[in-house]
Amino acid sequence: MVDQLTFTEENRERIQAIENSFGPSGKSLYQPNRVLIGEGRLMKQSRRGPQPKVFFLFNDVLVYGSIILNGHWYKNQQIIPLEDIQLEDLEDGFKMRNQWLMRTPRKSFYVAAASYEEKQAWIQHIEDCRSRLLQSSGRRPSSTFAVTWIPDQASAICMRCSNRFTMTQRRHHCRKCGFVVCGACSKKRAVIGHIHPTKQLRVCGVCHSNLLETEEETQDMARERGGSNEMMGSDEDEVEGSSDDEEAEEQIEVHDPSRWMDSQMDSLSVYVYLKPEHLSPQT
């Protein structure tokens, strides 16, 4: 009983400390059955290049954010239910070693650990927690995932019209295919349900046409069944900018991809596995 009470109090204090580190903009993280499993820093591939992010693994969610003051202050908190995560192990890349892919319905992205051992620990513990969660809760795993965005530096031209990007011809990303496209090729907007159930998101013309065709087929079927389904929107339905959580997170820092060095990985904090058992002590 003493061990149980001690564990519960320590766990509560750890979670409260994480809540406080995100400041008033962070969401409440404490729940009676939530356990902090591990924490550490990973390099996350963003549209502007790799960025260090802090990650916290709980028995039911994965939380990450941008590092403002190491160990004390973070922002742009992101919370991902473990049932919505699909992991794919990857070989070392030219610039990213010890990497793997995290797929989620709203966003998919690459991350890399400081060592092979830490990479395997992260993958194993995420998979173990996810498996336990699905078995104990009866939740259903996600089956639809967002595409990974192609990094800005991967293309000097629009991947639809081939026009070259300049200071005035800005890069954008289609939320459906992940291509780097110009403004003229991404004027359309559409709802992509697994990313956001109602918000009109930027898509390229090709994906908009494909979505429109699919929507027309869906509406035909709905009419046959006596229902309807609204999906497409006009170009004015969404104003490009910081209101998009994903884009705001990616644009926090200006990053020069050429600065990717092994020393960046060496500076990552070691992954801390807080509990060898993923559950609280048995009474």
158 domain-assigned: yes
Q: Give the pLDDT band (50/70/90) at residue 275.
A: low
> Are residues 124 and 77 both part of a single domain?
yes
Q: Give the pLDDT band (50/70/90) at residue 216.
A: confident
Max Cα-Cα span within the chain: 68
Q: Give the pLDDT band (50/70/90) at residue 189.
A: very high
3-state secondary structure the chain: CHHHHHHHHHHHHHHHHHHHHCHHHCCCCCCCCCCEEEEEEEEEEECCEEEEEEEEEECCEEEEEEEEECCCEEEEEEEEEHHHCEEEECCCCCCCCCEEEEECCCCEEEEECCCHHHHHHHHHHHHHHHHHHHHHHCCCCCCCCCCECCCHHHCCECCCCCCECCCCCCCEECCCCCCEECCHHHCEEEECCCCCCCCEEEECHHHHHHHHHHHHHHHHHHHHCCCCCCCEECHHHCCCCCCCHHHHHHCCCCCCHHHCCHHHHHCCCCCEECCCCCCCCCC
Asked if the model's pLDDT at residue 44 lies above 80, the reply is yes
> Are residues 55 and 136 both part of a single domain?
yes
> Are residues 31 and 108 both part of a single domain?
yes
Please give the pLDDT value at position 269: 57
Tell me which residue of 114, 1, 3, 18 sits closest to 62, measured CA to CA: 18
82 domain-assigned: yes
**43, amino acid identity:** M
> Are residues 123 and 224 both part of a single domain?
no
> Are residues 140 and 164 both part of a single domain?
no
> Are residues 139 and 230 both part of a single domain?
no
Q: What is the value of pTM for the model shown?
A: 0.74
> Are residues 105 and 128 both part of a single domain?
yes
> Are residues 169 and 134 both part of a single domain?
no
> Are residues 269 and 185 both part of a single domain?
no
Q: What is the CATH number of the domain that holds 169?
A: 3.30.40.10
% of the chain residues with pLDDT over 90 = 56
> Are residues 161 and 180 both part of a single domain?
yes
242 domain-assigned: no
Counted domains in the chain: 2
> Are residues 38 and 101 both part of a single domain?
yes
Number of alpha carbons in the 13 Å side-chain half-sphere of residue 125: 28
Cα separation of 79 and 87, whole Å? 16
- Among 132-136, 198-202, 252-256, the least confident range: 252-256
Please give the pLDDT value at position 2: 57
168 domain-assigned: yes
251 domain-assigned: no
Please give the pLDDT value at position 276: 45
> Are residues 120 and 170 both part of a single domain?
no
187 domain-assigned: yes
141 domain-assigned: yes
- Among 82-86, 109-113, 157-161, 248-252, the least confident range: 248-252
Could you report the per-residue pLDDT of 69-107, keeping only the tens digit for each? 876 799 999 999 999 999 999 988 777 899 999 999 999
Q: What is the CATH number of the domain that holds 91?
A: 2.30.29.30
- Provide the domain limits for residue 219: 152-191+200-237
278 domain-assigned: no
Asked if the model's pLDDT at residue 219 lies above 80, the reply is no
